[in-house]
Amino acid sequence: MSPAVFGHGHLRLYLLFVLDERPMHGYEIIQALSDRFGGTYVPSAGTIYPRLAKLETEGLVTKQSDGRKTVYAITEAGRAELDDRRDELEGIENGIGDSVRRLADEVRSSVSEAMTTLRAELAAAAREVRDDARASASSARDAASRATAAATAGAAAASEAVRDATTSMHSTISETRADGRAQVQRADVLLAEFRQDMRTELRTAAARGSVDPSVVDELESGLSRLRAQIGSRLG
């Protein structure tokens, strides 16, 4: 939990406020906090669960199993503390509004930096395309010069063969480069999707407190094998 979002002891009070609405399991509590921040701040399971455990120890919340989930509920003692600190809670609510605006500004700044980087990458790609075009134009001029010399010498058939060979060569090079870039972009998308899916599933499992270390070990070994297989083919 970032102290820039909640002051000392404020997250503890805010958890009681959230549970005063209704009993929730851990993931629902995390989602409720995320919704109040408009998605700009999502507390981790490592932030929420230790505080819930402390509230339970103090008798301010209870927990009970509901299938595979653990549901937390506020107690009368928790409501009493909440009532005693309503003025402080109002200040926290106002602070959340400020935090949302600050975090939104940080998100906009990150997006701006990403756009700047993207524009730089696009400019570099455009330069590469122009360089390729100049190289192709130079090669075309050379081929044209050779064809003219051959025509002047009366070798019209040889000139035609040179033009055909040049056209075929440039076509093959262009197709090879385009296909290579397309495959790299496709691989980038697949890797990003895999990373996002795995991250979401692991975070969801962590929120339920059910991440088995053997799962991560299997992920690590599987990725190592896959990297070795693909590396041998690319090499």
Average of pLDDT values for 61-77? 93
Residue 43 is assigned to a structural domain of this protein: yes
**Domain carrying residue 88:** 10-106
DSSP β-bridge partners for residue 69: 66
Residue 79 is assigned to a structural domain of this protein: yes
Q: What is the pLDDT of residues 161-202, one digit of tens each?
A: 657 756 766 676 667 677 767 777 777 766 767 877 778 788
Q: What is the pLDDT of residues 123-133, one digit of tens each?
A: 776 677 677 76
Q: How many domains does the chain have?
A: 1
Residue 164 is assigned to a structural domain of this protein: no
> What's this model's pTM, rounded to 2 decimal places?
0.41
Residue 228 is assigned to a structural domain of this protein: no
Residue 33 is assigned to a structural domain of this protein: yes
Residue 27 is assigned to a structural domain of this protein: yes
What percentage of the chain reaches a pLDDT higher than 70?
A: 69
Q: What is the pLDDT of residues 141-152, one digit of tens each?
A: 776 677 566 546
Residue 71 is assigned to a structural domain of this protein: yes
Question: How would you write the chain as a 3-class SS string?
Answer: CCCCCCCCCHHHHHHHHHHCCCCEEHHHHHHHHHHHCCCCCCCCHHHHHHHHHHHHHCCCEEEEEECCEEEEEECHHHHHHHHHCHHHHHHHHHHHHHHHHHHHHHHHHHHHHHHHHHHHHHHHHHHHHHHHHHHHHHHHHHHHHHHHHHHHCCCHHHHHHHHHHHHHHHHHHHHHHHHHHHHHHHHHHHHHHHHHHHHHHHHHHHHCCCCCHHHHHHHHHHHHHHHHHHHHHHC
Q: Which CATH number covers residue 19?
A: 1.10.10.10
Residue 94 is assigned to a structural domain of this protein: yes
CA–CA distance, 132 with 180 (Å, rounded to integer): 15
Place of tokens 């339920």: 208
Tokens of 104: 């939104």
